[in-house]
Structure 1
C-alpha cells in the first residue's frame, strides 16, 4: 500500500452488522471472510460496547462489480465511520483485517484509541508448505461433510486432520469445526475474485509498514498462534516490537484460526487488556 493516502475511487456503502451500545469498536475481518466471521468477538464485546463489523468491499453482502485496490477498503471504512458518526473508536482486526486496522490508524491517528491485532503483521510472511492434490481433495470432502454434519468426530479424524484445515487449526475441537461450518464456508463462497486479486497484488508487492507503525502512539494488543503458517508468529512478534505501547500474547498449539480454537481464553485476555487500558474505551 505505497499509495496509502491516495483516494482511488468513490466509497462503497458497506453492509455492516451493528450490535450493542456503548463505546464503538470497529471489527475488521480477514480473507476470505465477512462481518459475520467476527461473531466470536462481537457477540462477546457487544455486551458492553457497540460493535461495527462490516463486510469489506467484495466480501459478504458488500457486492462490487469490477476491480479495486486494497486502499479502497480504507476509503470505504472511513466513509462507514462518517456514516455512523463515529469520532473515537477502538479497532479489532483479524489477519487482513489487522493490516487494514494498522493502515486506518495511520490514516486517522487522532480518532483511534487502540488496536487489537489478531493473527496479523505489519510485514506479513508465511511458512505454508506446498499444497498437494490430496490436500485439496481432503479439504473439499471435510468441508462438505462438516457443512452437512458439523463437528462430526469421524469426519474430523478421517478427513479434517488430513486436510488443509490442519494448517488453520491445531486443536481439532468441535467448537472450531462449528465455526468453520457456520462462518468460514459461507464467507468463502461470498468472497469475490476481485477481492482475492486485490489482496494477492498487495502481497506480491512485499507489503511492509513496519517503519510507519512506529508513529502510532495508541495502546496495542497483538495476539498470535504459535503454529500459524499463514502469518507466522515471528512476523507478529516483529510487529509488536515496532509498536510503541504494545502487549504481545502467543498461544501454544494453535494456528491462524486460534480464536475459534480457544475462544474463551482469547476473549478473557482481551477483557483483561481492556481493563488495564481504560483509556482505549473512553471518549476524550
Structure 2
C-alpha cells in the first residue's frame, strides 16, 4: 500500500529573508535521504516541475526558491552570496529536521549545492549537478561600484526588459518545441516585480565567485555531473573541467540538449540520477 504524500508549501523567515519552499514527504520514504532541488539564475522551483512527479514516488523532495528569485523575498537585509545561500539551505533543512540530503542543483543552483556540500559533509550524502556554473570569478570592480549609482536598479530593469524574453529562452534550449506561452510567462514572472531588479544589484555586490579547483578537490561526496552538449550558456568544457576537479564523480553528456536540462530531458535526467544513487548505494 502506498503511503499518502504530504504537500507543504510555505514561506518562512530565515537569515533576514522570506523563503518560499515546497516540501513533499511520505512515511514510506523515511529511510531515504531527502532530495533538495535548487534552481538556477533568474529561475525558481518551477524549473523542476517536469521531474517532480517521478521523484516524489521514491523520495521526499524539498524545493527552494532562493532569496531574490521566485516567490521568495528580495530584501536588502539578506546577503546574496553563494556562501550565504548555502547557509540558507542548511538552515532550512535544520528547520525541517532533515538529517540526510541529496542536493540537485541546476546552473547557479549547482554552485550553491557545491558550497553546501563543502560546508556540511554529514548532511549532504551526494550531489547532482545539472549544467552547473563553474569557475566564474567575482564581478568586476566597475560593475560592483556601478551597482551603487543612483537609479542603478532602473538601468538593470531597462537593460533586461529591452530583451525579447521568449527569444532569450529559445537561445538556452536545443529543443525549440518546449518553449510555449506558459513557459515564457512563468520564467518572465520576476520581471513584474520592482524589487527583483534591486535584488540583482545585491547579487552583483555579494557574489564572491565560484569554488576554486582546490576547494572542489575537497568535495568527497559522490557527484553526478550531467551536461547538455548544446549548452550555449555554460559550455560543455566547464562540465568536463568540473569532472577533472571533483574527485568522486560520474559524468554524462546529454546529446541534443541545451542549458535547461530539467526542461528538455526530465526523464533522462531522472534515469541517470536513480542509476547513480543505486550505484553508489546512497539509498536503501
Query: Equivalent of 2:25, from 20, 24, 33?
Result: 20
Aligned equivalent of 2:120: 108
Query: Equivalent of 1:250, from 240, 253, 273?
Result: 253
Structure 2: 5+ residue runs without aligned partners? Answer: 1-13, 138-159
How far off is 1:124 after superposition? Answer: 4.3
Aligned equivalent of 2:55: 45
Deviations 1:101-146 (A, max 9, x none): 0000111112110000001143149xxxxxxxxx987834xx3xxx
Aligned equivalent of 2:67: 57
Deviations 1:14-48 (A, max 9, x none): 21111233231111111111222222232321111
Quote the Cα distance in structure 1 between the aligned partners of 2:170 and 2:63. 27
Aligned equivalent of 2:156: none
- Whether 2:164 is the aligned partner of 1:139: answer yes
Quote the Cα distance in structure 2 between the aligned partners of 1:74 and 1:194. 21
Deviations 1:153-208 (A, max 9, x none): xxxxxxxxxx33342011112x34377246423355468224423444466x6534
TM-score, normalisation: structure 2: 0.75
How far off is 1:217 after superposition? Answer: 1.3
Aligned equivalent of 2:149: none
Structure 1: 5+ residue runs without aligned partners? Answer: 1-8, 126-134, 144-162
Quote the Cα distance in structure 2 between the aligned partners of 1:171 and 1:94. 18
SS class of match (2:273): helix
Aligned equivalent of 1:230: 233
Aligned equivalent of 1:94: 106
In 2, are the aligned partners of 1:35 and 1:55 still within 8 Å (CA)? yes
Aligned equivalent of 1:84: 96
Query: Equivalent of 1:69, from 80, 99, 106?
Result: 80
In 2, are the aligned partners of 1:124 and 1:231 still within 8 Å (CA)? no
User: Aligned residue pairs: how many?
Assistant: 242
Cα gap change, 1:118 to 1:60, in 2 (>3 Å): same
Matches within 5 A, 1:174-189: 175-177=178-180, 180-181=183-184, 183-186=186-189, 189=192
Aligned-residue CA RMSD (Å): 2.8
Aligned equivalent of 2:269: 266
